[in-house]
Amino acid sequence: MTNDIILQAKGLKKYYGKGETMVRALDGVDLAIQRGKFTAIIGTSGSGKSTLLNMLGGLDTPTEGSIQVGGTDLTQLTGEQATIFRRKKIGFVFQNYNLIPVLTVWENIVFPLALDGQKPDRAFIMEVVRLLGLERKLDSLPGNLSGGQQQRVAIARALASKPAILLADEPTGNLDSKTSEDVIALLKTTSQTFHQTIVMITHNPEIAQLADRVVRIEDGKILAS
């Protein structure tokens, strides 16, 4: 793995079932992600993009192949080692935000750090908060925020631990088109400001075009990038 490649998948396969009913969710994927770049993975429903993102984030294990993040092979880690590695090195932004409703915005942002026994870098987190326009919402509960604001909180939470890579799973899936564009623009800005590596999956070609690079997946295979 060269210095400018932070994430690399080789010969990645994920098969479900056997014989004639076997589903090849991923069927020999090779993918290299450059450090500090914003990459969009696009594909239709059932193309394998969500399975690929889960593999890249160590949330699922492949049938065959390897995944390296910053030189660490995720497929060689135990379950507990993978959990610790994810918390320290990988940030996740989900379509459904996954905020804790009884915690304030600030508490939601720093919660994963508390789980890992880390002390928040308040200056850095406030820089992220200002960039995302959340300064006046830190004491609010998620239920009092718009969808776009909740997604911004989810992005801030994912960035708070300064992960090596940020994985975004259809981050605009529940947002209207204007808010979607705003959220993607913010992701792109955070990528540039904090030299953050971002991999996002989406089914929306217009959203994907805002990334630095677009990778297309169909039937479990990479078609173009």
Q: Is residue 85 part of a domain?
A: yes
pTM: 0.89
Tokens, residue 212: 């630095």
Band the pLDDT of 217: cuts 50, 70, 90: very high
Q: State what percent of residues in the chain have pLDDT above 90.
A: 69
Q: State what percent of residues in the chain have pLDDT above 70.
A: 98
Q: Is residue 205 part of a domain?
A: yes
Check residue 171 and report its DSSP letter: T
Query: Which tens digit of pLDDT belongs to each residue from 19-49?
Result: 889 999 999 999 999 999 999 999 998 999 9
Query: Which tens digit of pLDDT belongs to each residue from 101-133?
Result: 999 999 999 998 988 888 999 999 999 999 899
Domain that holds residue 52: 36-62+74-224
Q: Is residue 164 part of a domain?
A: yes
Q: Is residue 11 part of a domain?
A: no
Identify the residue whose tokens are 């450090």.
Answer: 35
Identify the residue whose tokens are 């995302």.
Answer: 132
pLDDT of 186 reads 87
Give the residue-averaged pLDDT of 128-151: 94
Q: Is the pLDDT of residue 225 over 70?
A: no
CATH number, domain of 143, equals 3.40.50.300
pLDDT of 117 reads 85
pLDDT of 2 reads 61
Tokens, residue 182: 């705003």
CA atoms within 13 A on the CB side of 29: 37
Strand partners, 106: none
Band the pLDDT of 1: cuts 50, 70, 90: low
Task: Please name the amino acid found at residue 102.
Answer: V
Q: Is residue 14 part of a domain?
A: no
In this structure, the number of other CB atoms found within 10 A of the CB of residue 113 comes to: 17
pLDDT of 69 reads 94
* Residues 6+ away with beta carbon under 8 Å from 123: none
Give the residue-averaged pLDDT of 147-174: 92
Q: Is residue 21 part of a domain?
A: no
Nearest to 36 by CA among 224, 164, 184, 171: 164
Angular region, 133: left φ>0, alpha ψ -120 to 50, beta rest: left
Number of structural domains in the chain: 1
Q: Is the pLDDT of residue 208 over 70?
A: yes
* Residues 6+ away with beta carbon under 8 Å from 50: 169, 201
In sequence order, which ranges of 59-146 are alpha helices (DSSP H)? 79-89, 105-115, 122-131
pLDDT of 66 reads 95
pLDDT of 95 reads 86
Band the pLDDT of 224: cuts 50, 70, 90: low
Residue 4 phi, psi (nearest 5): -90, 0
